[in-house]
Amino acid sequence: MGSEILSATSSPRHVDVTLALAMRRGFLGRCPSCGRTPLFQSYLKQVQFCPACGADFGSIRADDAAPWLTLIVVGHLFLPLIFFVNLGAFLPFWLGVTSWAAFYCGVALVFLLRAQGLFIGVLWITHAPGSESG
């Protein structure tokens, strides 16, 4: 197992992992390299190394990409729900506004984690800038 980790960390890229696969695994919160272990050790904090394959994620910084994508997706796909579901018809105004705010906070927090994983997958597979190691 030690030699597997050594070869995984010393190779510049896993050739059997495509960009789409790395993105999908990251979006699902799994290691973009092998998909066997969780990518995050806590909310938005990725693991330093994958314990299964040894892929290095410690130096990857997704920065503002995940919040940007979250704003785009939540704002454009979920926000129009407000116009179609009139909570004011059967709830007091203050309760309707509070309910929508709580709903959007929850959706944004859930999607932010997915977007963070997606961009970590992209940065890992492409070795794009965003990594502190250069």
Interface residues toward Zn ion, by CB under 5 A:
31, 33-34, 50, 52-53, 55
Q: Which residues, at least 6 apart from 132, have a Cβ–Cβ distance to it below 8 Å?
A: 59, 61
- Contacts by 1-4 with C-beta closer than 8 Å and gap 24+? 4/53, 4/54
Nearer to Zn ion, 22 or 50 (CB): 50
Least distance to Zn ion from the beta carbon of 36, Å?
6
**Which of 22/69 has CB closer to Zn ion?**
22
- Compare residues 5 and 97 and give the one whose CB is closer to Zn ion: 5
User: What phi and psi, each to the nearest 5 degrees, are found at residue 64?
Assistant: -90, 0
Residue with tokens 């203050």: 94
Smallest separation (angstroms) from Zn ion to the CB of 37: 5
Question: To the nearest whole angstrom, how small is the minimum distance from the Cβ of residue 65 to Zn ion?
Answer: 21
